[in-house]
Chains A and B, each alone.
Chain A
Amino acid sequence: EAGVTQFPSHSVIEKGQTVTLRCDPISGHDNLYWYRRVMGKEIKFLLHFVKESKQDESGMPNNRFLAERTGGTYSTLKVQPAELEDSGVYFCASSPFEGRTNTGELFFGEGSRLTVL
């Protein structure tokens, strides 16, 4: 069974440019999460989808970040325009839907490293 895959693995862009990160969750996983780790600090939650619906986007830093999950399958995270402080590793994770007690394991991708110059 394929795991969570993320693309690209590394992206280097200049300030003001646009970058789109993609995540393909494990097939059948309704929950999809985006997290970010900046400069060796803690991994911070960005948002959570259940199928195509945004369940919680409380961690999105600002309106330069846009996440979508069309059809409830893969997800994209677009940063436009990118700023220096957006540099970091963006992780995607998925898990099966477990109803009211979603306390199970998250399955993570390898992450997409974003460098903004």
Chain B
Amino acid sequence: DAKTTQPTSMDCAEGRAANLPCNHSTISGNEYVYWYRQIHSQGPQYIIHGLKNNETNEMASLIITEDRKSSTLILPHATLRDTAVYYCIVLGVGGSNYKLTFGKGTLLTVNP
């Protein structure tokens, strides 16, 4: 699976959009971009994933560049409860081994 690079930490004001970047320059054509977040002492929470097209769900939007070498997770109106570590993960399709490789992620702190 391709490696990802994320900033160590970011701050965001409550009510504003939080834009979390992720670089995955070695991504292959059949690899998905996944985003998870983890709030202290809880299991990782699935947020969103995509292959080529931009995706949106009730939690967030995922913007993938045309060359697929980077992506941005957008939380449109951040709240204090969105403070968490956010993980960007690249995952291949098919095969017999389906595992998520977590890096260090980005600590997003939403400030009042």
A binds B: no
- Residues of A in contact with B (beta carbons under 8 Å apart): none
